[in-house]
Amino acid sequence: LNQNKFKHRIRQLFYFDKWNIGIIDAPIEEVALQKDKIWEVKWIEETTESQFIADPFGCEIDENHILLFENYINDKGKISSKKNTEEIKTQLELPIHLSYPYTLFYEGRWYCLPEQSASHKLEIFQIHPITYQLEHPVEILSNFKAVDPSLILKDNKWYLFCTDASNKGADVRLSIFISDSITGPYRPHQKNPVKTDISSARC
């Protein structure tokens, strides 16, 4: 663990983040299993030095492929989208930093769960089927700085995985919250944090 912390600190001191998004025309399981294959990657337009795009999540609405992602510019992220070959559009911008627009489909609706840890809360949004704007937010966690929130349904229970940005824990401590409904209320796992490891706790 100490070695992982050292590597993480060196990276913070001597490197800066510069991300972009590439698309491979193949199912993700093929990419994962065919590790020796060289895939053709279609990169989204290169951004300026002060801007990058990252954290891509997809959805398919009326046979349109929609990509939602973090659009980071001037030290703050917003959630943008790209439909097929169309231009990038802003879908959610708040006074705080937004990133990691986790998408999921449930009971005929597309949802998005963007990270907004600076607000000390977590909201889930519906994706508008025509404009793709993020709307009708419902607060599902309060007084918690959730980082990279990821939501899955298993055995009729919703499991929310995220780390906690408090006390420099964004990369270190993994927590789980559980609910009977996608919109909560969510209760913390009795053994939170369920994992403490700087190399693999963050989603």
- Tokens at residue 17, please? 């983040």
More confident residue, 124 or 63: 124
Q: Is the pTM of this model over 0.85?
A: yes
Residue range 122-172, pLDDT digits in tens: 999 999 999 999 999 999 999 999 999 999 999 999 999 999 999 888 999
Residue range 2-29, pLDDT digits in tens: 676 677 667 667 776 778 999 999 999 9
Burial of 122 (0-12, 13-18, 19+ CB in 10 A): buried
Cα separation, 104 vs 106, in Å, equals: 7
